[in-house]
Amino acid sequence: MFERTDDQQALADAAREFCVATLGPSAREDDEREVFNIDFVRQMGEMGFCGIPTPEEYGGMGLGYVEYCIVLEEIAKVSSAYAVTVAVTGLPQVILNMYGTDTQKQRWLPGLAAGELLGAFALSEPESGSDAASLKSTAVLEGDEYVLNGTKFWITHGGVADIYIVMARTGGPGAKGVSAFIVPGDAAGLSFGRKEEKMGMRASPTVEVVMESVRVPVSDRIGPEGFGFKVAMAALDSGRITIGASAVGLSQAALEYSARYATERKQFKTQIIDFQGVGFMLADMACRIETSRLLVEKAAWLKDNGRPFSNAAAMAKLVSTDSAMLVTTDAVQVLGGNGYTREHPVERYMRDAKVMQIVEGTNQIQRIVLARHLKRTYSRG
């Protein structure tokens, strides 16, 4: 676990080379102009990056989350927006892999894994973010179809995705009334509202998704009725590992850039890294990143080995994204006035880090998950 295999290192090298050459040249401009380039998805798909843990029989690489995280780290070092794209298009895949019928898998997984199709995950609503079980979208059974109505909010890939996994209410209030559905991007009655203007992660589109009498055949429900909340939570457990890996990559990029700068920049005739105020900041950044990477790798390893990993994923997401915020903020500080300008990427890193503390469950939600586990573990009687 502490040393990569030759195959893992080769995968990391290939990912780094690809990302620097392909995503790197326009990363700053894509952020500034809020451009999402679907060709990058196709190219990442050709490299195998869009379906790393999807089984080979369904067109994926059939590798583990450890390998998935290795690649995500490399993508995020260059563009955290496209790391999030790979993570989010992975959510329908992890759901179909776990709960899909063979027909559902055959229909969607090969395209998603190849990057020919793009996936999205539609849980949040205007009034239901952290309290996901209070969602209001409805799915009413009429004959052999469900009719879906409602509005989904903050949907990554809204308007560009080919498949949405939508959570909607088929029963009474609370988690047990929620079911999960496959909704194709071109379904009649599906439309797209506001595209959010964001602080960071600006190349990644975040869009309102509106469902007006969208008809979904019963065969496109995932799992039984009332199982949708568990589908969403289980997907997010896996997704949180991928957000953690992306945060590690983003942090690593911030460290490498600011450490190099600190060896080149001189003040008072001294390389600024030799001032303890700067050198210690960089040392703390390196420690935070290493801690985060170990937690992310452990969560990925637990998942790959069929062990419970829900708490490990929450811990990895929490620590690595809080660390990313600290690390990228300090990277700006190391560069001083230069760090605050768009001439250097560290201000983008800092803006991108912020949303990682929010997506796939805020870090307060991760603490709730962990605190509940501690209560269950240590309650007497």
Site for ligand CAA, rule CB under 6 A = 88, 121, 123-124, 130, 132-133, 154-156, 175, 229-230, 233-234, 236-237, 310, 359-361, 365, 368-369
State which residue, 146 or 229, has the beta carbon closest to ligand CAA. Answer: 229
Nearer to ligand CAA, 42 or 367 (CB): 367
Cβ of residue 316: shortest distance to ligand CAA, in angstroms?
14
Closest CB to ligand CAA among residues 26, 363: 363
Nearest to 313 by CA among 355, 361, 350: 361
For the bound state, the minimum distance from the C-beta of residue 341 to ligand CAA, rounded and expressed in Å, comes to 30
Please report how close the Cβ of residue 376 comes to ligand CAA at its closest, in angstroms. Answer: 11
In the complex, what is the shortest distance from the CB of residue 283 to ligand CAA, in angstroms, rounded to a whole number? 32
Backbone angles phi, psi at 217, to 5 degrees: -65, 150
Q: Which helix (H) or strand (E) holds 371?
A: helix 363-378
Q: Shortest gap between Cβ of 234 and ligand CAA (angstroms)?
A: 4
- Distances in whole angstroms, Cα of residue 204 to Cα of each of 72, 323, 355: 15, 22, 12
Q: Is position 360 annotated as part of the catalytic site?
A: yes
CA distances from 45 to 51, 64, 114, 266 (A): 7, 17, 4, 43
Please say which residue, 187 or 368, places its beta carbon nearer to ligand CAA: 368
DSSP-derived 3-state class of residue 168? strand
Opening angle at CA 158, ends 240 and 350, nearest 5: 50
Tokens 């998603």 found at: 112
CA gap 150, 180 in Å, rounded:
14
Task: Give ∠ CA 210-363-126 in degrees, rounded to 5.
Answer: 20
- Residue 276 CB neighbours (<10 A): 9
| DSSP assignment letter at 165 | E
How distant, in Å, are the alpha carbons of 123, 157, 274 from that of 195?
A: 17, 10, 45
CB of 33 to ligand CAA, least distance (A): 21
Grouping H, G, I as helix, E, B as strand and the rest as coil, residue 209 is strand
Least distance to ligand CAA, CB of residue 21, Å: 27
Nearer to ligand CAA, 187 or 234 (CB): 234
Q: 73, 208, 297, 360: which is the annotated catalytic residue?
A: 360
CA distance 236 to 75: 20
Q: Tell me which residue of 102, 109, 98, 121 sits closest to 60, measured CA to CA.
A: 109
Helix (H, G, I), strand (E, B) or coil at 3: coil
Phi-psi region of 176 (alpha: psi -120 to 50; beta: other; left: phi over 0): alpha
The CA distance from 39 to 93, in Å, is: 20
User: Closest CB to ligand CAA among 16 and 230?
Assistant: 230
Q: Which is nearer to ligand CAA, 317 or 348 (CB)?
A: 317
Q: Which of 121, 109, 130, 125 is nearest to 180 (CA)?
A: 121
Q: Which residue is nearest to ligand CAA (CB)?
A: 361
Q: Which residues are part of the catalytic machinery?
A: 360
